[in-house]
Each structure stands twice: as structure tokens, then as C-alpha cells.
């Protein structure tokens, strides 16, 4: 079996390969060729940590495995990232462990790839202004992947903690786009594409602020109780997600479902758009929302690519079990 650590993952997986792997697995999920197993996430009562498993099997890509890890809020004081995870890949023919892959960089790049895939398939072709709500660890990854999907000229950003914005501004400047820090209403009024990537537990974008034709990638809500969008906004938009079961239970659409504003049948898996089964955006005026809840198969798909490339480039460490 092979070990592919965090640094090797950075050398093997770029934004383009992550995009391709995530787009392919979303397509496979919608066809029923790949499925995620129920997620386990527990507060372990130690270090205030949340720990869990996300696993699945992709019969088309022959990828079987799990991502294990979670959130250790005290890590920051130790100079470590709060989110920690490792990916285990198994040989689907024998069940033997095939690879251990660092999960931190892969989580960041696959989450960015998911919002990028949604922008690629759902945003207006003439989108020029990107709105960013959130400026934490993930935000720079999301920004970089998003601006490659359209001719983005300007980023408008808001974050609750203003001291975090300069780091995101640096990413934008390095990528060659203008960056302006504004209020949330201004983002709603101007942005053609908006990414929300925060740990908020209440709506940050209200229905009346959003201009027609906007595409929103809601990426922060991945647990019961978290929320970034006004449920009324969700209620009036065309809705897409990575996986419907997660979207209505732990994703952004949980709130509009609970309030009776939408039905499960109003939500389309983005894989249907990728596969050409659903048209996606049908008018320049409609608001589209992608609820990126984060599925284990995204991690497995990108980890599998990382192992393949690392083995080809002789960068993976081979270990006998």
C-alpha cells in the first residue's frame, strides 16, 4: 500500500485535476454509479473535538474508502489547522488497504472544486463580479477556483472578523483581480456570483438584497443548525446540490425544508446538470443556488487521483502491511 502525505498531495493535485475529479464523481452520483454511506460525526468530549467518518463507493471510478477526521478548535494555539483529516483508500476487489492520503489539502481543494463546478455549470456566462462572504482558511481556495470559471474582474468581500480580510485580499491581488471590502447588501446588489464559506448559524444574505441572475454557491453549512442564506431566498431560487439527502438534513436547504418553503423535489443534483439530464440555468434572470454540503466521494475521487499521479511520478511511499 502507498502513503501520500500532505506535501505530496500539494505537488500532485492542482485546481484543474481536482475540478475534473469532483465533476466526474458528481456525475457518477447522479447516475447511481457512486454513493455515499451515512455520515458519522460525534463530539468526543475531549479537546472540544468533533470527529467522524465520511465514506462511499464509486463503482464507475472503482474508488472505495473513507475520510476520517474532524475539527479540533484548540489546534490553532498549537500552530496546527483546526480541521484535520486522513483519507483511507481500499482495493474494491479485495478490501485490502491501498493507500493512506493526507486529507487537509484535499479537503480544501475539493471544496473549492465543488463551488467552481457549480459556477461553471450554473452561473451566467457574462459574470464579472464575485462576492465572497467569509475569509477563513477555505476562502482563498474558493476564490482562486471560482475566478477561473468566468471572466471575473473584481471581488467584493465581507467577513464578520475584519482582521481576516487582508489575507483574502492578498490571494485576490496575486490572482490579478481587484478586491474591495464592502457590506453584505452591496455584495447582493452587485455580485454576479457569490460564495458563502463561513461557520455562521444565521442568515447572512437576505432575499431582497440579491439581484436577479445571481448564482450563489453556499458552501459553509455542513452541520445541523448552521445557516448562511435567508430561507426565503432559498424559497424563490432554483436549487441544486451535491447530494439531496445531505442538503436537507445538514446542508443549507435544511432551513427552507423545515419552514415548508421548499420540497425535496425542488432540488436537483448538480450531477444531473453535468450529465445533461437537467438544463441548469434556463434564464438570465433566475437566481440559482448550489448547496455544497461536502460528500466523502469528493475526497475519495481527489485522493485517488493524488495516489495515481504520485505513483506515476515516483513520489508515493510504498509500505508492506
- CA distance linking residue 101 with residue 12, whole number of Å: 12
| Residues between 20 and 79 that touch ligand NAD (CB under 6 A) | none
135 binding ligand NAD? (CB under 6 A):
yes
User: Which three cell numbers, joined as nine digits, stand for 218?
Assistant: 453556499
| Contact present, 256 and 241 (Cβ < 8 Å) | no
State yes or no: residue 227 binds ligand NAD (CB under 6 A). no
| 128 classed as catalytic | no
Interaction pattern, residues 93-112, with ligand NAD; x per rule: CB under 6 A: --------------x---x-
3-state secondary structure (DSSP) of residue 113: helix
Min CB(201)–ligand NAD separation in Å: 6
Nearest to 247 by CA among 266, 274, 272, 230: 266
- Candidate residues 5, 52, 92, 136; the one interacting with ligand NAD per rule CB under 6 A: 136
Q: Which residue lies nearest ligand NAD, judged by its C-beta? A: 136
User: Between the CA of residue 6 and those of 54, 103, 104, 208, what are the distances in Å?
Assistant: 19, 7, 7, 43
For residue 17 the three cell numbers come to 485535476
Kindly determine how many residues on this chain lie close enough to bind ligand NAD according to the rule CB under 6 A. 24
Burial label, 231 (beta-carbon count in 10 A; 0-12, 13-18, 19+):
buried
Residue 219 DSSP code: -
Which of 11, 20, 31, 67 is catalytic? The answer is: 67
Of the residues 84, 118, 293, 305, which one makes contact with ligand NAD according to CB under 6 A: 293
In the complex with ligand NAD, which residue's Cβ is closer, 118 or 288? 118
Instruction: Check binding of 167 to ligand NAD (CB under 6 A).
Output: no
Enzyme catalytic residues = 67
> Footprint of ligand NAD on this chain (CB under 6 A)?
83, 107, 111, 134-139, 159-161, 164, 197-200, 204, 219-220, 222, 292-294
Amino acid at each position: 500500500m502507498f502513503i501520500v502525505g500532505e506535501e505530496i498531495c500539494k505537488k500532485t493535485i492542482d485546481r484543474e485535476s481536482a475540478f475534473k475529479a469532483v465533476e466526474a464523481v458528481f456525475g457518477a452520483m447522479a447516475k447511481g454509479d457512486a454513493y455515499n454511506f451515512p455520515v458519522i460525526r460525534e463530539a468526543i468530549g475531549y479537546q472540544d473535538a468533533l470527529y467522524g467518518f465520511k465514506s462511499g463507493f464509486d463503482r464507475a471510478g472503482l474508488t472505495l474508502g473513507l475520510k476520517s477526521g474532524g475539527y479540533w478548535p484548540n489546534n490553532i494555539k498549537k500552530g496546527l489547522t483546526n480541521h484535520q483529516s486522513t483519507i483511507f483508500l481500499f482495493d474494491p476487489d479485495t478490501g485490502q488497504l491501498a493507500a493512506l492520503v493526507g486529507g487537509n489539502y484535499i479537503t480544501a481543494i475539493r471544496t473549492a472544486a465543488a463551488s467552481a463546478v457549480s459556477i461553471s455549470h450554473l452561473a451566467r456566462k457574462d459574470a464579472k463580479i464575485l462576492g465572497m462572504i467569509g475569509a477563513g482558511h477555505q476562502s482563498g481556495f474558493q476564490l482562486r477556483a471560482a475566478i477561473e470559471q468566468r471572466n471575473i474582474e473584481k471581488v467584493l468581500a465581507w467577513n464578520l472578523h475584519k482582521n481576516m480580510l487582508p489575507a483574502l485580499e492578498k490571494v485576490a491581488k496575486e490572482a490579478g483581480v481587484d478586491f474591495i471590502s464592502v457590506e453584505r447588501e452591496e455584495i447582493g446588489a452587485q455580485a454576479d456570483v457569490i460564495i458563502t464559506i463561513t461557520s455562521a448559524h444565521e442568515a447572512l444574505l437576505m432575499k431582497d438584497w440579491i439581484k436577479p441572475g445571481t448564482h450563489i454557491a453556499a458552501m459553509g453549512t455542513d452541520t445541523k443548525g448552521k445557516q448562511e442564506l435567508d430561507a426565503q431566498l432559498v424559497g424563490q431560487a432554483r436549487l441544486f446540490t451535491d447530494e439531496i439527502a445531505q442538503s436537507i438534513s445538514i446542508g443549507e436547504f435544511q432551513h427552507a425544508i423545515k419552514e415548508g418553503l421548499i420540497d425535496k423535489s425542488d432540488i436537483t443534483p448538480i450531477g444531473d446538470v453535468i450529465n445533461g439530464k437537467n438544463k441548469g440555468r434556463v434564464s438570465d434572470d433566475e437566481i440559482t443556488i448550489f448547496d455544497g454540503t461536502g460528500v466523502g466521494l469528493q475526497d475519495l475521487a481527489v485522493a485517488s487521483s493524488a495516489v495515481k499521479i504520485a505513483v506515476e511520478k515516483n513520489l508515493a511511499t510504498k509500505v508492506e502491511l
